[in-house]
Structure 1
């Protein structure tokens, strides 16, 4: 796989700081925080293969952060690709609590901040 184009280095650095998506508490842990970071038409395909709406994901996150879980995670193999003006695909590998997944997030750069359009996780192997 080709590495990230050098002209996208700043974008890659910005997005790496935001992943794994919904696990970086420095970007907030409230429903309002998650609403701000996701596009109104955001959706996700989970590691199970199920498709989830934005409202469903926000409900799950709201419940999760009532009693934040203790998580051990590690990320690697980041790659960023420009899909269109201000829209980027970020892919990476995540090991979270012993489960390895490949992640893909489509990010949109707005005037003020980044917003997520789509996210997917695919199980590679359990450790």
Structure 2
């Protein structure tokens, strides 16, 4: 869990493909559960783009296919003294079979 925590800014939050808002603590708990009980999934990513939003802030966008589910993803990263931190993440549903 320490690895995930180190990557996330203290005020991180996420909007999932469902439209629900998730707190940092909720996302950390989900990631830890996935680490403890891995499930083999086929994920394909493509169309990566990175755009500077400010001196130390960047927007990373990409497309993620999880089986028949297609989403567009956006993650805001900020450079901090401790390294790069995720500030915000969002998934937007494109199509679902």
- The corresponding residue for 1:106 is 76
Residues 28-52 of structure 1: per-residue CA shift (max 9 Å, x gap): xxx1111001000000000100000
Q: CA RMSD in A?
A: 1.2
Measure the CA separation in 1 of the matches of 2:90 and 2:63.
12
The Cα offsets for residues 32-76 of structure 1, whole Å up to 9 and x where unpaired, read as: 111001000000000100000001111111112111121211111
Q: Deviations over 1:84-107 (max 9, x none)?
A: 111000111110132100000001
Q: Which has the higher strand share?
A: 2
1:65 partner SS: helix
**4+ long deviations beyond 4 Å:** none
Higher helix share: 1
Question: TM-score with structure 2 length normalisation?
Answer: 0.92
Match of 1:84 in 2: 54
Q: Distance in 1 between matches of 2:37 and 2:93?
A: 25
State the Cα distance separating 1:110 from its structure 2 match.
2.9
Aligned to 2:91: 121
| Alpha-carbon distance between aligned partners in 1 of 2:13 and 2:33, rounded to the nearest angstrom | 18
Question: Structure 1 unaligned runs (5+)?
Answer: 1-30
| TM-score normalised per structure 1 | 0.72
**Distance in 1 of aligned mates of 2:79 and 2:68:** 32
1:1-127 equivalent positions in 2, closer than 5 A: 31-127=1-97
